[in-house]
Amino acid sequence: MCNAVVAYSLAEICSAYPSAGSVYHWAAQVVPERYASLSSYICGWANFLGNVAGDASFAYAFATFLNAAMESSKFEPFSLQGTVGISIATIFVWSFLNFFCIDQVAWINNLAAVCHCGAIVVIMMAILIKPSHLNSTEQVFTEYNNDTGFQSPIYVCAIGLLSATFAFTGLESSAHMAEETVDSSEAAPKGIIYTVLASGIGGLGYLIALLYSTTDISAALDGATDVAAVNVFILSCGERWGSVLAWLVAVNLFFAGISSVAVTGRITYALMRDEAFPYSQFFGQVHPTLKSPMHSIMFVCIIDSLLQLLALNSDGVTAFYSITALCVIGFQVSYCIPIVLKVIFDPVDFPVTSMSLGKWSKVFGIISSTWLIVTSVLLFLPTTSPVTLQNMNWLIVVFTFTVICAGLYWIYHGQYSFKGPPRWSSHSSSHPYKSVRFDAE
């Protein structure tokens, strides 16, 4: 419910300022001009961090599910090093596919959407219909299992919010494609809302189906593969159909990664275009033939690959948690900034659109901000007790390193060269970036 409120708050701003820069662009529009560059700079770095970590999460998840699918099909599984190698190779493939203009690869996104919806329905039906025995409704909604080492149920529930919040990351993806979308002031914000509704309904259904079909938690955690969900598939549907479901998830993760890299390339391009990063003039170029931000995509590809190396210094699961948490906090901070700033400054020239919330705008903004701030703080908490160097939450390390890099760049260069995105006048019908759209002739 809280994420739906966040979606409506962002959709209202998106409708007023549809731009590839998305939240980064909006942060500069809802504040007085003297604060525009700093607010958009902080928001842009946070959103970039969330998008990049999201790509890395998809890549590592794909490699992990691919490994589990192969193992369930009686193939020799990869080692940890092999899994990391597969994830890096996958990132390069996704980047290459996104070298082409969005019009040329749109069929991939359409196919991905169909496969994703179909896969959720197939998996839910299979694990609910195929098993001879399911958990009772009382077990599903009242039983509690805790293997974290922490004794407090409240604390365990709090740290368990990561998986829920991760499902709603990237909800502003449609806004990043606004400059390549017809009627963007309507299509982009509606895309934000529909994304949350679809994720919420589909995710809740899938979660409930897993709870009913997971009759043996120990077998799910210590089963034939290293992925608990795949073990549930096998226990519920048998080895053959369990393996089919595992491959189905792997295929969907591959398609999801292509879309994720497409979005990350666009936000990175928007930041490079406004010189928020070093060497922006080079990385902010649009390829004259392919009509895509190729240099920005390769910049993202390199950082994504480096993030995969975190798994080599841990058990893989810990690294995946840290990367996922990095993704969530990057997105949530970037969502929170324009919403909070709009509530604080309440700009009188804010454009009125069909997506305006009217008198509910400030109420939705306060609820959204509170939810985003509280859940972001929870991500830094340790998830296993006792805490060791191997199982510690590395989020604080990676996040702090990023903040230091962004801060140093701002102090020594950014505050002098970075002016932020152009201010969007509510009295002008022209798009501030119309002349540099990717599909421009």
Give the CATH number of the domain where residue 259 resides.
1.20.1740.10
CA distance 66 to 251: 9
CA distance 408 to 38: 13
CA distance 133 to 166: 31
Q: Does residue 102 lie in a domain region?
A: yes
Number of independent structural domains in the chain: 1
Provide mean pLDDT across the span 302-320.
Answer: 77
CA distances from 303 to 298, 386, 402 (A): 9, 31, 12
Return the residue matching tokens 């009772």: 136
Cβ-proximal residues to 402 (8 Å cutoff; 6+ apart), any chain = 45, 49
CA distance 71 to 62: 14
Digit-coded pLDDT (tens) for 216-275: 888 888 888 888 889 999 988 888 899 999 999 998 889 888 888 888 887 888 788 777
Provide mean pLDDT across the span 369-385.
Answer: 84
How many CB atoms neighbour CB 377 within 10 A?
11
Residue 105 has pLDDT above 70, yes or no: no
CA distance 395 to 379: 8
How many CB atoms neighbour CB 7 within 10 A?
27
Q: How many CA atoms lie within 13 A of 435 on its CB side?
A: 3
Token output for 306 = 């480096």
Provide mean pLDDT across the span 347-364.
Answer: 86
Nearest to 120 by CA among 205, 184, 63: 205
Q: Which domain holds residue 147?
A: 2-422
Q: Does residue 435 lie in a domain region?
A: no
CA distances from 162 to 125, 241, 391, 431 (A): 26, 29, 16, 37
Identify the band that residue 436 occupies on the pLDDT scale cut at 50, 70 and 90: very low
Residue 106 has pLDDT above 60, yes or no: no
Digit-coded pLDDT (tens) for 396-408: 887 888 889 888 8
Q: Check: CB of residue 263 under 8 Å from CB of residue 173.
A: yes
Nearest to 436 by CA among 264, 272, 323: 272
pLDDT value, residue 432:
52
Return the residue matching tokens 């149920």: 153
Q: Check: CB of residue 362 under 8 Å from CB of residue 346.
A: yes
Q: Does residue 178 lie in a domain region?
A: yes
Nearest to 257 by CA among 82, 91, 50: 91
Q: Does residue 59 lie in a domain region?
A: yes
How many CB atoms neighbour CB 101 within 10 A?
17
Return the residue matching tokens 């549930």: 232
Nearest to 274 by CA among 50, 53, 432: 432
pLDDT value, residue 440:
37
Residue 90 has pLDDT above 90, yes or no: yes
Q: Mean pLDDT across the chain, nearest whole number? A: 81
Cα 111-115-118 angle, rounded to 5 deg: 140
Token output for 142 = 């009242």
Q: Is 105 helix (H, G, I), strand (E, B) or coil?
A: coil
Identify the band that residue 341 occupies on the pLDDT scale cut at 50, 70 and 90: very high
Residue 430 has pLDDT above 60, yes or no: no
Q: Which of 305-314, 336-345, 353-362 has the lowest mean pLDDT?
A: 305-314
